[in-house]
Structure 1
Amino acid sequence: MKVGIKLLLGAIIASSVSFAALAKEQITVFAAASLTNAMTDIGKQFDQTHDTETRFSFASSSTLARQIAQGAPAEMFLSANQKWMDYLQEQQVIDTASRYTLLHNALVMIAPKSRPLPSVVVDSKLDLATVIGDSRMAVGDPDHVPAGRYAKQALENLGLWSAAEPLLARANNVRAALALVERGEASLGIVYATDALVSTQVKTVAEFPATSHKPIAYPVALTSAQPTAATKALYDYLKTDEAKAIFIKYGFKVQ
């Protein structure tokens, strides 16, 4: 009899826990790959003080924007450039009034820590072929990845694009480019300063002049003109000092 009661109580407790988990309001956020660490931490911190479960999809901004345009159930979008937010605004799938430039970043050149390469001066005199050696330079694909577009702009403005283009290892997003350098499959890479900061396996050998490319801006927007209270709360939370502290920790420049 006692065993039966214990089993019944156990089932009640288990179902209560399960119901509580189901009762949490879920928020789905699509965010650029370079925001993985910062937004994961912010989501956890937000969920601790709200009855929510924040879920993320991290990828290239172009991939995410196309998915949202095709009906993916994102409630908020954070892009690594203005272009893909412009695209969604043209498609009329974001709340234009909620669009806000949240963060800025910088563009850097990285190399594996194990490679004995001193700091590099990135200017029109740089001999990229010699610095890259018998390898490749990893970048987000300039055809669709924001980090790659910024890299192409910088290299073009410095007169280095024609030398660099045949030596590129094109990755699906900036974190994939970072991984190529971490594994030593590319001797150089161009990523955001924040990506270099979170890796223990690469070193920054140069920072591109800010004037060599368009400002690296991260806009955020809600994908519905009538967001849930939880989604609106998270959107507002991104502008708080608590969230800004996390962004700063990971190297972003906040508004």
Structure 2
Amino acid sequence: MMARPFHFDSSGSSHLAGRWRVGQGRVMRWVLLFLSLLWAGTASAEPVRVFAAASLKTALDAAAAEWTGGRVSLSYAGSGAVARQVAAGAPADVVVLAHADWMRWLDAQGVLGSDPVILAGNTLTVIGRVGDAELALTPQAIAARLGRDGRLAMGDLRAVPAGIYGQEALVALGLWDGVAARIAQADNVRNAMAFVARGEAPLGIVYASDALAEPRVAIVSDIPSDVHAPIVYPAAVTASAGPMAQEFLAFLQSPVGQSVFRAAGLQEPPK
């Protein structure tokens, strides 16, 4: 019996190859769709990284809790320290400082991705311990309250805005010469307030919003706002900011965000 010759059907082979290519294309499309969804989920899971002045801790902690757009990572320090960290490459998406000069310096370093906006204002106060009497802003009254060894707690006079504003006010009020040698400087305004809260200094100069956040201190004198430069909080996104940074900054400017700032003792942005 003779074997039949085998005939190769080229049309059938082409048909099978076509089906393989179609199936392979569908698989690749599903793989690409899965990877795109995975990337989108990972991107959206990244927090908005906010570097901010220490005096904004109460307000920004509350604002971040109110925002429904995603997670927020918050880091606080004195404005000078924040500006230098961001300029050196710290992974910030949003920067909020307590002095326009530091924001201008940061802008000059080429790291900002938007024009700064002013989020809020503030006022300066002199604080003492809870139960202390009101204090007259005179050399004699301050000297009496400080006693022989007491210090006046303030933010760093060169880098911390509360210290810069405070020194400007003391000079304008004719009080600087009497306290210049008795300043206890801190790396941020919250740490200056902590000196008073712990009883390590009888007096301190802080923002009004700070005094509201610490139950162990009380305002003993308000410093007039016309004896120092306006206190403002400029904010901007960085050039390396993630996609949600601008949305969080917009939220801080919204009625809801601004109501959180007012509740924390901050004032409306100066007009």
Partner in structure 1 of residue 19 of structure 2: none
Q: Equivalents in 1 of 2:96, 2:220: separation in Å?
A: 28
Alignment of 1:63 with 2:77, yes or no, is: no
Partner of 1:29: 50
Deviations 1:68-105 (A, max 9, x none): 1111111110000101101011111113x431111100
Q: Who is 1:9 aligned against?
A: none
Q: What percent of counterpart residues are identical?
A: 36
| Aligned ranges 1:1-255 → 2 under 5 Å | 24-46=45-67, 49-50=68-69, 52-95=70-113, 97-114=114-131, 117-123=132-138, 126-133=140-147, 134-224=149-239, 227-255=241-269
Give, in whole Å, the separation in 1 of the partners of 2:204 and 2:99: 19
The aligned amino acid for 2:262 is I
More strand by share: 1
Question: Is 1:25–1:230's contact at 8 Å kept on the other side of the alignment?
Answer: no
Larger Rg: 2
Structure 1 position 126, deviation (Å): 4.6
Q: Supply the AA of the counterpart residue of 1:43.
A: A
Aligned mates of 1:41, 1:185 — CA distance in 2? 29
For 1:121 and 1:135, how far apart are their aligned partners in 2?
Answer: 17
Aligned residues: 228
Distance across 2 between alignment mates of 1:36 and 1:136? 25
Distance of 2:42 and 2:236 partners within structure 1: 27
Question: Alpha-carbon deviation of 1:128?
Answer: 2.3
The corresponding residue for 1:4 is none
- Show CA shifts across 1:12-31 (max 9, x none): xxxxxxxx899623110000
Residues 190-231 of structure 1: per-residue CA shift (max 9 Å, x gap): 00000001111011000111111100011001112x743311
For normalisation by structure 1, the TM-score amounts to: 0.85
Moved over 3 A (4+): 20-23
For residue 71 of structure 2, give the secondary structure of its aligned residue in structure 1.
Answer: strand
Cα deviation, 1:146-193, whole Å, max 9, x if unaligned, reads 100011000011111111111111111000001010000000000000
1:138–1:169 CA contact under 8 A, matched in 2: yes
Normalised TM-score (structure 2): 0.80
